[in-house]
Amino acid sequence: MKAKTMFYCTACGNELPKWAGQCPACKAWNTIVEQPQESRRRGPSPGPEGHSAGSRPRPIAQVETARELRFETGMRELDRVLGGGAVQGSLVLVGGAPGIGKSTLMLQICEHLCRFAKVLYVSGEESERQIKLRADRLHVRGEQLYLQAETNLEDVVESVRELGPDVLIVDSIQTLYHGDLSAAPGSIGQVKDCTMALMQLAKGQGVTVFVIGHVNKEGSIAGPKVLEHMVDCVLYFEGEQQNSYRILRAAKNRFGATNEIGVFEMGDSGLREVPNPSEMLLSGRPQDTPGTCVTCVMEGVRPVLAEVQALLAPTSFNVPRRTANGFDFNRTNLLLAVLEKRGGLMVSSCDAYINVIGGLFLDEPAADLAMVIAMASSFRDRPVPGDLAAIGEVGLTGELRSVNALGQRLSEVHRLGFTKCLVPARISGKLDVPEGLQLIKVRNIREALAALL
Ligand code: TYD
Ligand code: MG
């Protein structure tokens, strides 16, 4: 009998009964691939807490609520992102580009974990010897740390049953495969199936599972987004090739908020926590120097701090020279015109050079205010206070307009060590201001300049 097959979209994970050129769900072209459907019949799938079929609806008042058990991983920055430590029996997916330091991070937390828990580190990427060498270099040792180079899921499940670890680390989900499926490791069917099996280990046996997943070029884990909805927590490990700093962010967390970030620095002896990231993200930022201001922009759903710099000097040309790096050129000219007309600074006779530090491109109006302030600061030759950030859109009449996700931006500004923030006076909706952050509310750029310079 011919095995019945299913089709999946490799971009979004959508399941289809037949092939199509375009995915009806995410509209991507040429992403549908065939996957043989499993012939074996498995028992009823377990519920979220490992309960199998036979559960009945219960009044909410009768549901027991044992508080989730948390333990620290020994990395404060990781604990913070997890919402105050790892939850026992949860499955955490750690995603990131190859070479960013996921294996290093996981191996390093073993040092702390294996003091009070039995840890099994399963790697399909490196041999036990390689992991041992790396562990030696990272000064990771411990009686209760077990290594296994394995790619077969059933063997991993068997090892967990025999060894009974409290924590299981799987490096990486793309190398794991289920023998019953004919699809290649890393394919969507395999990745889904293996994650499901690991989820059952977590919920059924109370093992805390960390799963490493490589992010491909499109920026999604294992090609599809399929894993995100299955697991309890999704963390992304990010960083630039040029510098050694790494940022850990939660994209999803069933046990905490997702607006915390963890910051690390990769060095000779592994990852080092950076307790005060404001210094790091804005490292080398000139203090008490005119022409620089910090703002917060949203990169997708994430707030990111950026430093904008401006250099204004009297021109010696007929037409002033203007350049903008990391900022829209036309917007630069517009803001200079507003600054002259509404702010009263004669900048039209100045050359203006604009730069955004860190290779970012700020295409969000929320960065306007910081840009105007950096320009004015350079023009007046007066520095902006170092612990101040500015967020707001500037209109043509010089008025300041509210921006979206202000609460999130303010927590990021506060989180990175700033104590003052310049914001538009009129804010729509209720705003949770982080404790310790002083808001300076201004209605237009004249008020902003008066408040600062
Ligand atoms: P790794 O954890 O293997 O990345 P991933 O598992 O995410 O693919 O980290 C690999 C990089 O980290 C590698 O390019 C070397 C660098 N590294 C250091 O700079 N210092 C160290 O102590 C270690 C262990 C790695
Ligand atoms: Mg690795």
Question: Nearest C-alpha to atom 25 of ligand 1 is from which residue?
Answer: 270
Q: Which residue has the tokens 């920026």?
A: 219
Residue 209 lies in a domain: yes
Say what angle helices 329-341 and 368-380 make with each other, to 10 degrees.
60
Instruction: Specify the ligand 1 atom closest to the Cα of 269.
Output: 22
Q: Are residues 245 and 125 in the same domain?
A: yes
64 alpha carbon to ligand 1 midpoint, in Å? 43
Question: Nearest C-alpha to atom 1 of ligand 1 is from which residue?
Answer: 101
Q: Are residues 286 and 234 in the same domain?
A: no
Give the ligand with the smallest distance to the CA of 123.
2
Instruction: Specify the ligand 1 atom closest to the Cα of 102.
Output: 7
Residue 184 lies in a domain: yes
Distance CA 285, CA 31 (A): 45
Residue closest to 77 by CA, chosen among 242, 272, 244: 272
Residue 336 lies in a domain: yes
Q: Are residues 197 and 228 in the same domain?
A: yes
* Structure-token pair, residue 422: 């310049």
8 alpha carbon to ligand 2 midpoint, in Å? 27
Q: Which residue has the tokens 């005060």?
A: 276
Residues above pLDDT 70, as percent of the chain: 88
Distance CA 378, CA 306 (A): 18
State if residue 102 touches ligand 1 by the CB under 6 angstroms criterion. Answer: yes
SS3 category, 203: helix
pLDDT at 252 over 80: yes
Pocket test for ligand 1, best of 266, 268, 269, 271 (most atoms within 8 A of CB): 266
Q: Are residues 92 and 131 in the same domain?
A: yes
State if residue 174 touches ligand 1 by the CB under 6 angstroms criterion. Answer: no
Q: Are residues 361 and 448 in the same domain?
A: yes
Q: Are residues 151 and 267 in the same domain?
A: yes
Q: Residue 184 belongs to what domain range?
A: 70-275
Say what angle helices 128-137 and 102-113 make with each other, to 10 degrees.
70
* Structure-token pair, residue 307: 């430093």
Amino acid residing at 264:
F
201 alpha carbon to ligand 1 midpoint, in Å? 28
Sign of CA dihedral 149, 150, 155, 158: positive
**Residue 213 near residue 71 (C-beta atoms within 8 A):** no
Domain boundary among 275, 308, 326: 275
pLDDT of residue 43: 45
Instruction: Please provide the distance, in angstroms rounded to a whole number, between the alpha carbons at the two ends of the chain.
Output: 81
Number of Cβ within 10 Å of residue 23's Cβ equals 21
Distance CA 381, CA 378 (A): 5
State if residue 101 touches ligand 1 by the CB under 6 angstroms criterion. Answer: yes
Residue 54 lies in a domain: no
pLDDT tens string 426-450: 887 788 899 999 999 999 999 999 9
236 alpha carbon to ligand 2 midpoint, in Å? 14
State if residue 302 touches ligand 1 by the CB under 6 angstroms criterion. Answer: no
Instruction: Specify the ligand 1 atom closest to the Cα of 134.
Output: 24
Q: Are residues 25 and 79 in the same domain?
A: no
pLDDT tens string 311-362: 999 999 999 999 998 899 999 999 999 999 999 999 999 999 999 876 567 8
Q: Which residue has the tokens 């105050």?
A: 84
pLDDT of residue 39: 47
**Residue 173 near residue 222 (C-beta atoms within 8 A):** yes
Pocket test for ligand 1, best of 75, 104, 172, 246 (most atoms within 8 A of CB): 104
State if residue 269 touches ligand 1 by the CB under 6 angstroms criterion. Answer: yes
213 alpha carbon to ligand 2 midpoint, in Å? 9
Question: Nearest C-alpha to atom 23 of ligand 1 is from which residue?
Answer: 270
SS3 category, 233: strand
pLDDT at 93 over 50: yes
- Helices and strands in the chain, H and E counts: 11, 23
**Range scoring the smallest mean pLDDT among 14-23, 32-41, 224-233, 268-277:** 32-41
Q: Are residues 265 and 286 in the same domain?
A: no
**Cis peptide preceding 39, ω within 30 of 0:** no
**Residue 188 near residue 33 (C-beta atoms within 8 A):** yes
Q: What is the secondary structure of 260-297 as a DSSP string?
A: -EEEEEEETTEEEE-S-HHHHHTTTPPSS-TTEEEEEE
183 alpha carbon to ligand 2 midpoint, in Å? 23
State if residue 270 touches ligand 1 by the CB under 6 angstroms criterion. Answer: yes
Across 1-118, the runs of DSSP E, i.e. the strands, are: 5-9, 15-16, 32-36, 70-71, 86-87, 91-96
Q: Are residues 246 and 190 in the same domain?
A: yes
94 alpha carbon to ligand 2 midpoint, in Å? 11
Give the ligand with the smallest distance to the CA of 214.
1
pLDDT of residue 238: 82
Domain boundary among 242, 260, 275: 275
Distance CA 57, CA 419 (A): 49
- CA angle (147 as vertex; 146, 148 as ends), nearest 5: 125
Q: What is the secondary structure of 134-156 as a DSSP string?
A: HHHHTT---TTEEEEE--BHHHH
Question: Nearest C-alpha to atom 2 of ligand 1 is from which residue?
Answer: 101
Distance CA 153, CA 186 (A): 12
State if residue 134 touches ligand 1 by the CB under 6 angstroms criterion. Answer: yes
**Residue 9 near residue 31 (C-beta atoms within 8 A):** yes
Question: Nearest C-alpha to atom 15 of ligand 1 is from which residue?
Answer: 99
pLDDT at 261 over 80: no
Give the ligand with the smallest distance to the CA of 265.
1
Distance CA 81, CA 259 (A): 8
Q: Are residues 256 and 286 in the same domain?
A: no
Residue 50 lies in a domain: no
Pairing of strands 400-401, 393-394: antiparallel
- Output the pTM of the full model: 0.70
CATH number at residue 86: 3.40.50.300
Altogether, the residues listed in the chain come to a count of 453
Question: Nearest C-alpha to atom 22 of ligand 1 is from which residue?
Answer: 270
pLDDT of residue 302: 63
Question: Nearest C-alpha to atom 24 of ligand 1 is from which residue?
Answer: 270
Residue 64 lies in a domain: no
311 alpha carbon to ligand 2 midpoint, in Å? 43
**Range scoring the smallest mean pLDDT among 16-30, 126-140, 189-203:** 16-30
How many structural domains are present in the chain? 3
194 alpha carbon to ligand 1 midpoint, in Å? 25
Residue closest to 209 by CA, chosen among 97, 113, 129, 134: 113
Q: Are residues 260 and 361 in the same domain?
A: no
**Residue 7 near residue 15 (C-beta atoms within 8 A):** yes
Q: Are residues 292 and 253 in the same domain?
A: no
Residue 419 lies in a domain: yes
pLDDT of residue 181: 79
pLDDT of residue 438: 95
Alpha helices in 75-121 (DSSP H): 76-82, 102-113
Query: Looking at residues 215-235, what average pLDDT do you find?
Result: 73
Question: Nearest C-alpha to atom 10 of ligand 1 is from which residue?
Answer: 99
Say what angle helices 368-380 and 445-452 make with each other, to 10 degrees.
50
pLDDT of residue 330: 96
Number of Cβ within 10 Å of residue 264's Cβ equals 26
pLDDT tens string 42-92: 444 444 544 455 678 888 888 877 777 899 999 988 998 898 899 999 999
